[in-house]
């Protein structure tokens, strides 16, 4: 799908959202819109696989027959349904009953069927509990089909849902039913809703341009980035995964078979459900990912809470865009936590280093971690200075990348990317000051492809470039008290041009002479008019 086609599809769906939002705010409507797009994706994918599986037996219906062909096959072959569904679970890893397919739901909406709402409720419940071998309980928990925002009475809610689904069905019908396209459209809409949500967007969305930098870095060989992309990443983790776009970006760069398993964690329940849908929508099978709903700082995910180092789950790639300067509640128990014990606790006012240490603990020895953080982590004192100093002394901070301001929907502050490794080859730190390389747009600044490629290229080949990138020795960093403020090492200021004092002096003399001539001419007119003459410039200079 071309960028123009994607933009057109996204705009169509966004216009529908705009028309139908009514009494709902953008966040509420987002959940309905994205859930129906998700159902459409699952249905299209399932029906395409069923058509292939059944071959000639797949019903060919008259164009006026709006039923789902699979519904007709189920009616005609009741004794074969169990075997068919068993086979479908092997092929596509899930089952959707014919009455819950998008084709059936859209037809109910078109005819304003009184049972649409009930069918949707049953369908969502079936998908959560029975469609997949892995149960996706609560997947649609944020979509309240009984909400008064849809209408006070059942009939009103049913009518509203019929309108919403009919409009979406008509909007999507103009475009290809390729399942990859629906995945792209879903990602596009997440970005659009993020832009419309302002600061709340920081909870769930990392702009694609920044996501591309992080994913482009972690897929490279950890010890020898210049040799290129890794052949395989067994496990990748994002412990503040939001809608999952960052993880999907890593997968896209590695290819569908380049990652063994994807792991994500998300505290916000709505966003957690978005992430699970997003994985499935992009063709990630339920056996290929695990998204956990929980608090990373509390480390409440059982699989990451293994005390025995020999059994600890480790990741070759860790990426994250945690909430900036998040206020948390460190306590004595956390001070003894295996993630923080050797470093100390991040201050109550900013959990940035707590997030960093959480991800770093689970990084494999041959792994790479890339995390987005506010600039304060580079220079703030106190507990943060102690943590930063230890990471530097231990040789764990590999690269510091400064990005332009105003790249995020949620904040206008400039941010940095820290690249960390347990075992790094180089004994210096690479600083990249990309803060002035961007294109200005109406609402946000934009990193163009060439800006992104340059950052990754500089990192990959560890290049140096005046006013952009420099490798800095640990001795120099230590002399600066382990302060990593980027401008200390890579200044973007242009050197002042040397001043030729003789030329300046000559210019001043010429100006002085012109002033004297002008004063003399002016005084002639004043004398004729009998007015007080102006003192000469030379006389004033002597008096001064």
**pLDDT, tens only, 85-101:** 999 999 989 999 999 99
Asked if residues 392 and 474 have their Cβ atoms less than 8 Å apart, the reply is yes
Hey, what's the torsion of the CAs at 507, 508, 512, 518, to 10 degrees?
50
Confidence of residue 27 (pLDDT cuts 50, 70, 90): low
Residues 188, 68, 173, CA angle at the centre, nearest 5°? 35
Tokens read off for 309: 């180092």
Mean per-residue pLDDT, 1-13: 67
Ramachandran area for residue 285 (φ above 0: left; ψ -120 to 50: alpha; else beta): beta
Residue 484 has pLDDT above 60, yes or no: yes
Specify the DSSP class assigned to residue 94.
B
The H-or-E segment that residue 366 falls in is: strand 363-374
Residue 143 CB partners (closer than 8 Å, separation 6+)? 31, 32, 35, 124
Q: What's the predicted TM-score (pTM) here?
A: 0.83
Task: Classify strands 415-420 and 315-320 as parallel, antiparallel or unpaired.
Answer: unpaired
pLDDT above 90 coverage of the chain, percent: 59
Residue 170's pLDDT is 84
Mean per-residue pLDDT, 165-181: 73
Q: What are phi and psi of 402, to 5 degrees?
A: -95, 125
3-state secondary structure at position 124: helix
Report d(CA 441, CA 469) in Å as an integer.
25
pLDDT above 70 coverage of the chain, percent: 90
Hey, what's the torsion of the CAs at 164, 166, 169, 171, to 10 degrees?
-80
For residue 295, CA distances in Å to 90, 161, 264 come to: 34, 34, 11
Q: What are phi and psi of 113, to 5 degrees?
A: -65, 130
Specify the DSSP class assigned to residue 476.
H
Residue 6 has pLDDT above 70, yes or no: no
**pLDDT, tens only, 450-475:** 999 999 999 999 999 999 999 999 99
Asked if residues 436 and 430 have their Cβ atoms less than 8 Å apart, the reply is no
Confidence of residue 410 (pLDDT cuts 50, 70, 90): low
The H-or-E segment that residue 208 falls in is: helix 208-218
Residue 271 has pLDDT above 80, yes or no: yes
Confidence of residue 541 (pLDDT cuts 50, 70, 90): low
Residues 347, 412, 216, CA angle at the centre, nearest 5°? 85
Mean per-residue pLDDT, 467-488: 96
Residue 157 CB partners (closer than 8 Å, separation 6+)? 117, 145, 146, 147, 150, 151
Residue 402 CB partners (closer than 8 Å, separation 6+)? 375, 414, 416, 431, 432, 433, 434, 435, 486
Q: Say how many C-beta atoms besides its own lie within 10 A of residue 520's C-beta.
A: 13
446 burial class (0-12, 13-18, 19+ CB within 10 angstroms)? Answer: middle
Helix locations, 258-401, DSSP H: 269-281, 332-335, 352-361, 383-393
For residue 437, CA distances in Å to 264, 273, 407 come to: 31, 35, 12
């Amino acid at each position: 799908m071309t960028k123009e086609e994607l933009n057109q599809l996204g705009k169509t769906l966004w216009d529908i959202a705009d028309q139908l939002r009514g009494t709902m705010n953008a966040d509420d409507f987002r959940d309905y819109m994205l859930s129906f797009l998700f159902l459409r994706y699952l249905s299209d994918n399932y029906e395409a696989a069923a058509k292939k599986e059944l071959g000639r037996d797949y019903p060919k219906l008259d164009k006026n027959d709006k039923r789902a062909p699979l519904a007709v096959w189920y009616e005609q072959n009741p004794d074969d349904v169990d075997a068919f569904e068993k086979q479908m679970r092997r092929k596509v890893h899930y089952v959707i009953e014919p009455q819950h397919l998008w084709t059936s739901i859209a037809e109910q909406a078109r005819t304003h069927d009184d049972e649409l709402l009930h069918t949707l409720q049953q369908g969502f419940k079936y998908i959560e509990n029975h469609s997949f071998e892995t149960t996706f309980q609560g997947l649609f928990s944020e979509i309240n089909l009984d909400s008064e925002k849809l209408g006070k009475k059942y009939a009103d809610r049913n009518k509203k849902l019929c309108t919403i689904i009919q409009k979406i069905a008509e909007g999507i019908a103009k475009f290809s039913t390729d399942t990859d396209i629906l995945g792209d459209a879903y990602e596009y809409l997440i970005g659009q809703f993020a832009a419309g949500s302002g600061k709340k967007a920081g909870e769930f969305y990392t702009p694609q341009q920044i996501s591309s930098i992080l994913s482009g870095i972690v897929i490279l060989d950890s010890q020898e980035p210049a040799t290129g992309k890794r052949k395989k990443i067994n496990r990748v983790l994002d412990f503040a995964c939001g809608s999952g776009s960052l993880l999907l970006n890593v997968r896209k760069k590695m290819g569908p078979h380049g990652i063994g398993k994807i792991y994500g964690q998300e505290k916000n329940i709505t966003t957690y459900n978005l992430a699970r849908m997003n994985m499935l929508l992009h063709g990630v099978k339920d056996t290929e990912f695990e998204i956990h709903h929980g608090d990373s700082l509390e480390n409440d995910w059982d699989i990451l809470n293994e005390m025995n180092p020999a059994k600890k789950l480790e990741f070759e790639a860790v990426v994250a865009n945690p909430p900036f300067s998040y206020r948390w509640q460190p306590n004595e128990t956390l001070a003894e936590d295996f993630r923080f014990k050797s470093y100390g606790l991040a201050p109550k006012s900013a959990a940035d280093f707590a997030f960093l240490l959480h991800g770093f603990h689970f990084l494999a020895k041959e792994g790479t971690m890339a995390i987005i953080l506010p600039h304060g982590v580079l220079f703030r004192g106190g507990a943060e200075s102690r943590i930063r100093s230890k990471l530097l002394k231990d040789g764990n901070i590999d690269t510091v990348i400064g990005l332009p301001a105003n790249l995020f929907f949620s904040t206008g502050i400039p941010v940095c990317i820290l690249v960390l490794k347990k075992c790094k080859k180089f004994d210096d730190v690479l600083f990249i000051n990309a803060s002035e390389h961007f294109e200005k747009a109406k609402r946000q600044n934009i990193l163009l492809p060439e800006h992104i490629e340059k950052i990754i290229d500089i990192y990959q080949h560890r290049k140096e470039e005046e006013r952009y990138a420099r490798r800095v020795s640990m001795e120099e960093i230590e002399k600066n008290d382990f302060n990593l403020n980027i401008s200390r090492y890579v200044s973007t200021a242009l050197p002042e041009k040397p001043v030729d004092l003789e030329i300046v002096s000559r210019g001043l003399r010429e100006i002085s002479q012109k002033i004297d001539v002008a004063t003399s001419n002016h005084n002639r007119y004043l004398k004729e008019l009998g007015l007080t003459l102006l003192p000469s410039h030379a006389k004033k200079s002597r008096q001064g």
